Amino acid sequence: MSLKKIIVVAWMVTASSCSMKNGEEVVAVSSANDKTFMTTAGYGNIHLKKAGLVTAQKSGNQLVKSFAHSASVQFTKAQEDLQDRAAYFDYPLPSVEDSMHRELIKKLESSQGREHDSIYLLTQIIDLKNMQGLYENRLAENSHGLLGKYAENWLPQVRKNIEEAESIKTEIKLYD
State the pLDDT at residue 175.
74
- Give CA–CA dist 101/98, Å, rounded: 5
The pTM assigned to this predicted structure is 0.81
Question: What is the number of H-type helices and E-type strands within the chain?
Answer: 6, 2
Residue type for position 52: G
- Give CA–CA dist 41/90, Å, rounded: 16
Q: Is 46 helix (H, G, I), strand (E, B) or coil?
A: helix
- Give CA–CA dist 40/138, Å, rounded: 12
State the pLDDT at residue 147.
94
State the pLDDT at residue 14.
36
State the pLDDT at residue 154.
98
State the pLDDT at residue 32.
84
Domains along the chain with CATH numbers: 1-30 (no CATH), 31-171 (1.20.1260.10)
Low-confidence ranges of the chain (pLDDT < 70): 1-30, 144, 176
